[in-house]
């Protein structure tokens, strides 16, 4: 009898877990996406017509309807993340220049978010012509307009006069009370480097690494601090070359580890096409590396190459092992990646921000209908999203996995 009751309880619990999401559970700015509706389609197009550059619109939806309720619930786990009343507000727009690209970093002390312009984009005239710039916004200004869907012109976007100027910054993160940027370099003689910048005036900068035993890196892309050992990990790839502002690569694309106290620089992972975004789980047990091999910049797309996130175990000594495929992105490629405090994984993709649970199941999207190179949490319940010519502010229930790297 006891075993029967135990089995009944298990079935009830399982039934509750598997129960479909009710429309009454969905916040006003969210919508349920039922994947069963497109498991079998009446017509599927060949790869030359529909591929990773094509927007996917589920049956019964339109591009407009997807954008009107931008929080897309693929699994009820996503409801915990977005909370009861998520919002998405466009707070800035640039007609042509992709001013809102990468290196989204929250300065906790000033309650501002920093980000950078696209380096090497033709419409930005960056690369060899001029370096990409660093910009910032006040989160108080963004919060004041968060109930609007479009608040362009109501939030000031300020250029940051870093000194000396960070050359073509791309990735960024908090570091010992300051911000560390992965700079892509410029031309033959200005090498890629790790720059540390004071987030307050006069925004003074210092280069802390610019070579691997005398050899120039290719084009540093992203940077993250391990939450336990506090070492600096960064990706190096070819995007400066395929965007015409760096020479042909002299090293294979790799992920590196740098201990600034000892000066030791080591390789922790290779075997990528183009390693890009990098982050760690909140407990530091896993490293996530995005591979955007599908996109070779001005050389075009190869849809047979990776648009993938790989997960590594991080050993107690800080090295990586046991690489596995965590996720493959169906729209564009995963660029910037971050974890929330619960260990869910977020990535900027071809139509917005995709969210996976720790097992690699897609549970939701913050849908923009356009490419998202990077984004980041600003503490609990706030997120800033860069979408090249548009900048967004979102409110939700989740909190970022903030690493305090003070030592």
Question: pLDDT tens-digit profile of 99-118?
Answer: 999 999 999 999 999 999 99
Partners of residue 241 on adjacent β-strands: none
For residue 63, the SS3 value is: helix
Q: Where are the domains of the chain?
A: 63-399
> What pLDDT does 267 receive?
98
- Specify the pLDDT at position 23: 66
Mean pLDDT of 187-197: 98
- Edge-to-edge order in the sheet of strand 254-258: 220-225, 232-236, 254-258, 265-269
pLDDT in tens, 265-287: 999 999 999 999 999 999 999 99
Per-residue tokens: 11: 């079935």
Question: Which pLDDT does position 402 carry in this prediction?
Answer: 87
| Mean pLDDT of the 63-76 span | 97
- For residue 25, the model assigns a pLDDT of 85
What pLDDT is recorded for position 172? 98
pLDDT, residue 216, reads 98
- The secondary structure of the chain in percent helix, strand, coil, rounded to multiples of 5, reads 15, 40, 50
Mean pLDDT value across residues 15-32: 72
Q: Which residues pair with 159 in a beta bridge?
A: 135
Give the pLDDT confidence of 214-268 residue by residue, as tens digits.
999 999 999 999 999 999 999 999 999 999 999 999 999 999 999 999 999 999 9
Q: What is the structure's pLDDT at 124?
A: 95
Helix (H, G, I), strand (E, B) or coil at 82: helix
Quick: pLDDT tens for 292-321.
Answer: 999 999 899 999 999 999 999 999 999 999
Beta bridge mates, 328 = 308
Give residue 18's pLDDT.
41
Task: Decide: helix, strand or coil at residue 146.
Answer: coil
Asked whether the predicted pLDDT for residue 11 surpasses 70, the reply is no
CB 382 within 8 A of CB 395: yes
| Average pLDDT of the residues in 10-25 | 50
- 3-state secondary structure at position 61: coil
Phi, psi at 297, each rounded to 5°:
60, -130
Torsion angle defined by CA atoms of residues 339, 345, 351 and 352, in that order, rounded to the nearest 10 degrees: -30
Query: Residue 145, SS3?
Result: coil
Tell me, letter by letter, the H, E, C secondary structure of 261-325.
Answer: CCCCEEEEECCCCCEEEEEECCCCCEEEEEECCCECHHHCECCCCCCEEEEEEECCCCCEEEEEE
> Distances in Å between the alpha carbon of 392 and those of 340, 346, 366, 370, 402?
18, 16, 11, 12, 20
- Tokens standing for residue 205: 């900068």
- 3-state SS assignment for residue 361: coil
pLDDT, tens digit (0-9, with 9 covering 90-100), for 113-164: 999 999 999 999 999 999 999 999 999 999 999 999 999 999 999 999 999 9
Mean pLDDT of 361-381: 97
Q: What is the CATH code of the structural domain delimited by 63-399?
A: 2.120.10.30
Question: Among the listed ranges 192-196, 235-239, 355-359, 403-407, which one has the minimum average pLDDT value?
Answer: 403-407
User: Residue 220, SS3?
Assistant: strand
Look-up of token digits 């892309």: 221
pLDDT at 20 (0 to 100): 60
């Amino acid at each position: 009898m006891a075993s029967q009751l135990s089995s009944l309880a298990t079935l009830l619990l399982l039934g509750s877990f598997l129960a479909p999401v009710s429309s009454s559970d969905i916040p006003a700015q969210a919508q349920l996406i039922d994947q069963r509706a497109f498991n079998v389609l009446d017509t599927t197009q060949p790869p030359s017509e529909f591929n990773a550059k094509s927007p996917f619109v589920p049956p019964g939806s339109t591009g407009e309807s997807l954008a009107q309720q931008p929080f897309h619930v693929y699994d009820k786990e996503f409801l915990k993340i977005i909370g009861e009343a998520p919002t998405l507000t466009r707070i800035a727009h640039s007609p042509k220049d992709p001013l809102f690209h990468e290196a989204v970093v929250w300065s906790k002390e000033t309650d501002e978010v920093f980000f950078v312009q696209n380096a090497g984009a033709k419409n930005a005239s960056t690369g060899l012509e001029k370096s990409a710039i660093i910009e910032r916004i006040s989160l108080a200004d963004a919060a004041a307009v968060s109930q609007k869907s479009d608040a362009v012109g109501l939030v000031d976007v300020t250029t940051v006069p870093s000194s000396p100027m960070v050359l073509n910054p791309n990735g960024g993160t908090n570091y010992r009370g300051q911000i560390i940027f992965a700079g892509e370099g410029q031309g033959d003689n200005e090498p890629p480097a790790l720059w540390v910048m004071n987030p307050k005036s006069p925004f003074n900068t210092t280069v802390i690494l610019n070579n691997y035993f005398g050899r120039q890196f290719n084009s540093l892309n992203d940077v993250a601090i391990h939450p336990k050992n506090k070492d600096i990990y960064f990706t190096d790839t070819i995007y400066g070359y395929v965007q015409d502002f760096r020479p042909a690569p002299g090293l294979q694309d790799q992920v590196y580890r740098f201990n600034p106290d000892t000066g030791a620089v080591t390789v922790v992972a290779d075997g990528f096409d183009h390693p890009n975004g990098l982050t760690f789980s909140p407990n530091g047990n896993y490293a996530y590396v995005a591979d955007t091999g599908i996109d070779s910049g001005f050389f075009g797309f190869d849809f047979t190459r990776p648009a993938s996130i790989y997960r590594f175990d991080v050993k107690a000594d800080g090295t990586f092992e046991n690489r596995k495929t965590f996720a493959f992105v169906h729209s564009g490629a995963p660029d910037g990646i971050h974890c929330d405090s619960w260990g869910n994984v977020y990535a900027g993709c071809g139509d917005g921000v995709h969210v996976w649970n720790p097992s690699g199941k897609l549970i939701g999207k913050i849908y923009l209908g356009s490419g998202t190179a990077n984004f980041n949490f600003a503490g609990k319940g706030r997120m800033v999203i860069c979408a090249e010519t548009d900048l967004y502010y979102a409110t939700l229930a989740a909190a970022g996995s903030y690493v305090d790297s003070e030592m």
